Amino acid sequence: MSVDLQERLHIGPAGWQYEDWNGIFYPSPRPRGFDALEYVASYFNLDEINSTFYRVPAPETCRRWAERVTHNPRFLFTAKAHQSMTHGPLDRPREVDAFRAAMQPLLDAGRLGCVLLQFPWSFRFEDAARRRVDALVASLDPLPLALEVRHASWNSEPAESFLESHDVAVCGIDQPVIGESRPPYRFRPGPAGAYFRFHGRNYRNWFGAEAGRDARYDYLYSADELSPWAAVIRRAAAGSERVFVVLNNHFRGQAPANAFELEAILTARRPPAPAPLRRAYPRLLETTVADPGDAATDDLFGA
C-alpha cells in the first residue's frame, strides 16, 4: 500500500448505537463502563454519525463525542445533515443554524471530516433540486460538504457541471441498481475529500414499503463485490487529501465485518478484529488477525 493511501484513508461503519451488534461486534454482556464509540474508535479511524439525521444534537453532546475518541489521533467523524434539510421544506433556517452550532465543537477539535447531505432516491436533477442544493451549500458554509444523490438523472453533463460549480464532493455509492438508480463507481472529490458509501445490495427490500431499516440494510458483501471498489478508492486517494469509506450495511455487524475486509484489500494487511466478530463471520479469519486483547478467547475457536 502506498504511504499516501495509508495517510488519507478513513474507513469505518455508519453509526455505533446498535443493540444487534452485542455479541457480534461488541462483547456480550458489555462490561461495566463499556463505551461503544470508544470501542469503534479502537478499531477504525472513521464513523459516520447517523443520529444527526433524526435529531440535531446539542453542541455539548458533540464535544463529548470528540473527547471519547482522543485515544485515536487519526479518528474522524462524518455527520449526516438533519433530515429537515434534505427531505423537508426548503426554508428551515432554525434547523440549519442549530446544526451548524452542533457541528462547531467537532470542527474546533479537528474531528469533523465532512457533513453528508443524503438526498432520497426521488431527488432528481431538476429546478427544485438545484434551488435546494444552492441554498444548502450557501447556508452551511464553511462546513465541508458531500452530497449523496441516488437518482440516475445526476449522471448527466448538466448535473455534473452544476455540481462542479459548487465544488462539493459527490459520494460514490454502492446500492441496489433498480430502474433509474445511479450506477456504482461514479464519484466526485471535493475540498473535504472523496466519499464512498456502501448500502448493500438487498434488492428485495430496498424499495419495500414494509421493509424496516434493518431489512433494507441486511447484506454482507463478498470479497468479489468489494474488490472493484478498491481500484476506484485508490484512484480517489491519488487526487484527494482524504478518502472517507463508510459501510452502512449495519445489520448484525455486517458493516464492521465488511469494513475490515475492505481495509485488508486496500492495505494488503490484515487488521486486528475483535473475537466476537471473527466468530460470527469466520471468513474474517483469513483477512484479519486476532486482537491481542482477545487472544485467550480466539484460542477457543482456533484463530
pTM beyond 0.85: the answer is: yes
pLDDT, tens digit (0-9, with 9 covering 90-100), for 117-144: 999 999 999 999 999 999 999 999 999 9
In this prediction, residue 97 carries a pLDDT of: 95
In this prediction, residue 203 carries a pLDDT of: 73
In this prediction, residue 204 carries a pLDDT of: 78
Measured between its terminal Cα atoms, the distance across the chain in Å is 25
Neighbours of 74 (CB within 10 A): 12
Give the residue carrying C-alpha cell 462546513. 143
Amino acid sitting at position 23:
G
In this prediction, residue 206 carries a pLDDT of: 65
C-alpha count within 13 angstroms, C-beta hemisphere, residue 210: 1
In this prediction, residue 90 carries a pLDDT of: 75
User: What is the chain's alpha carbon radius of gyration, rounded to the nearest angstrom?
Assistant: 19
- State the cell numbers at 269: 494487511
CATH code for residues 3-250 = 3.20.20.410
> Alpha carbon of 32 to those of 26, 29, 35, 210, 211: distances in Å?
13, 9, 9, 37, 35
- Between these two residues, 302 and 3, which has the higher pLDDT value? 3
- What is d(CA 14, CA 49) in angstroms, rounded to the nearest whole number? 6
* Residue pair 243/194 in contact by the 8 Å Cβ criterion: yes
Q: How many whole angstroms from its chain centre is CA 179?
A: 24
